[in-house]
Amino acid sequence: MPPVTTALIVANVALFLLQSVVPGLIGPFALWPVGTGGAAPSFMPWQLVTYAFLHGSVLHLGFNMFALYMFGSAIERVFGTRRYALFYFVSVVSAAVTQLVFAMLSGGVYPTIGASGGVFGLLLAYGMYFPHNRVMLLFPPIPLPARVFVTIYAVLELFLGVTGSQEGVAHFAHLGGMIGGYLLLRVWRASPRRPVP
């Protein structure tokens, strides 16, 4: 595995293990809505990144790390280590900002955790750079071209986010990760001095 993807997976697993030893870790490092008051922790700037290294369960961690390995390894080889790291963290932060905006509009007061925002940014990049590679759906197990797979996932996330039919999942954060990644790719492609491979 390439180095940044390896480091991200190791960091996520290590912090998940640390969560079991220090249960209060999630409180100050999860992403909380701006203006949270009362007994809930307040929003702090570092949460724009730290939330992406926390997970709610082994299954949550497992799915995100598998996707990070599957899509991140290929994208890191395309971008190189520095650009890949920047792309991942831009996706993470844009997912966080999107989630904060949605929380303000909906009035929801709950923490957001998980690497999904960064993973969805990588998923978008994978669909753009490897559009014809086959990706297997889990349910049902049907192989699809990557660009079709990404499109289906984006539409599904939008539908679930708008309808609110799957509680406890930050669908708009997922979309925010994709949007942030896409905008960064557009900036890179528009810069003659720093072309994207």
Domain with residue 83: its CATH number is 1.20.1540.10
- pLDDT single digits (tens) 12-47: 999 999 998 987 888 899 999 887 666 667 889 999
pLDDT, one tens digit per residue, over 106-122 is 777 788 999 999 999 99
Residue 144 lies in a domain: yes
In whole angstroms, what is the distance from residue 93 CA to residue 3 CA? 21
Residue 165: its pLDDT value, please?
A: 65
Q: Give the model's pLDDT for residue 193.
A: 55
pLDDT at 88 over 90: yes
Which pTM was predicted? Answer: 0.90
Q: Decide: 181 and 124 in contact? Cβ < 8 Å.
A: yes
Report how far residue 121's alpha carbon sits from residue 94's, in angstroms, rounded to the nearest whole number: 9
Q: In the prediction, which pLDDT does 196 show?
A: 55
The answer to whether residue 197 sits within a structural domain is: no
The verdict on residue 195 lying in a domain is no
Is residue 169 included in any domain, yes or no?
yes
Whether residue 145 is contained in a domain is answered as yes
| Domain span including residue 129 | 3-190
The token pair at 181 is 């990644």
Q: Count of domains in the chain? A: 1
- Residue 62: inside a domain: yes
- Taking the C-alpha atoms of residue 75 and residue 47, their distance in angstroms, rounded to an integer, is 25
Mean pLDDT value of segment 145-150: 91
